[in-house]
Amino acid sequence: MYFSIVVLVLTKALVTEVCHALNVTVTPGPIIMVTEKDNLTLSCLVSQRKRSSSVLILRWFFSPLAVPTLTPPLSSTSPSPPTPEPSQFLIVKMGIKKMKLYGNYTRQFPQPKFRLYEETEGELYRLRIFSVTGKDQGFYTCKVQEIRKHRNTWRASSNGTSTTQLTVHFTLEDGSSEGLMAFICRCVSVCCADLLTGPVVHLPVHSGPHLPVLSQKTQAQR
């Protein structure tokens, strides 16, 4: 009887520990479109924490959109190459002491590209992306891990993940999408003008029995 009670208590504690995951939500999402060269702010909202005394470890990841490549067909004798998995790059990590560690991916930009700040402690984290370009298109994932200290050891108690997709709306150098529409309209007008002013080709049309064709001289005599 005592053994059964111990097993029941341990099972309940284990189920509670595993099943109660963090509720993580990234906004805006699940898909957002931003005009090229604009700034963007992504928010990571965390809720349903198990313990107020726990600590959150937050990470932002970026996965670029996969670009399809054209490859010649493989022969039946050659082995098929493995399918490459989409790359995922660490943007920034916020650890136990609220230190912000930016990943190697962010070092390729000449100017600061990302900025992470905690707006509401333990609840709301914002990621600022400056001067969005086509290379920034892809998936942005916020991963949060709740840890607690037990006997001088940090242990994970729950996790949560949320992702949003970023697409970029491209514009012309003047910064307006209307310029693109005007450019298309001008191209269409030029093409239509060429069709109207070009040489006219007469095609024979047979709608009935063949009739003799009178020359212009015969028609004039009549």
Is residue 216 assigned to a domain? no
CATH code at position 93? 2.60.40.10
pLDDT score for 20? 60
Is residue 115 assigned to a domain? yes
Structural domain count of the chain? 1
Residue 137 zone, left/alpha/beta (φ > 0; ψ -120 to 50; rest): beta
Q: Which residues partner with 166 through β-bridges?
A: 32, 138
Is residue 191 assigned to a domain? no
The residue with greater pLDDT, 55 or 53, is 55
120 to 31, 116, 196, 205: CA distances (angstroms): 24, 12, 66, 79
d(C-alpha 152, C-alpha 163), whole Å:
33
pLDDT score for 49? 75
Give the pLDDT band of residue 186 (cuts 50, 70, 90).
very low
Average pLDDT over residues 209-218: 48
> What's the start-to-end Cα distance of the chain, in Å?
125
Q: Does residue 169 contact residue 33 with C-beta atoms inside 8 Å?
A: yes
64 CB neighbour count, 10 Å cutoff:
15
Is residue 190 assigned to a domain? no
Average pLDDT over residues 103-125: 93
Name the pTM for this structure: 0.64
Is residue 185 assigned to a domain? no
Is residue 60 assigned to a domain? yes
Is residue 212 assigned to a domain? no
Helix (H), strand (E) at residue 118? strand 114-120
pLDDT score for 108? 94
The per-residue pLDDT of the chain, averaged, comes to 74
Q: Domain residues for 115?
A: 18-66+85-169
Is residue 186 assigned to a domain? no
Angle at 212 between CA 206 and CA 215, to 5 degrees: 110
> Is 70 exceeded by the pLDDT of residue 51?
yes
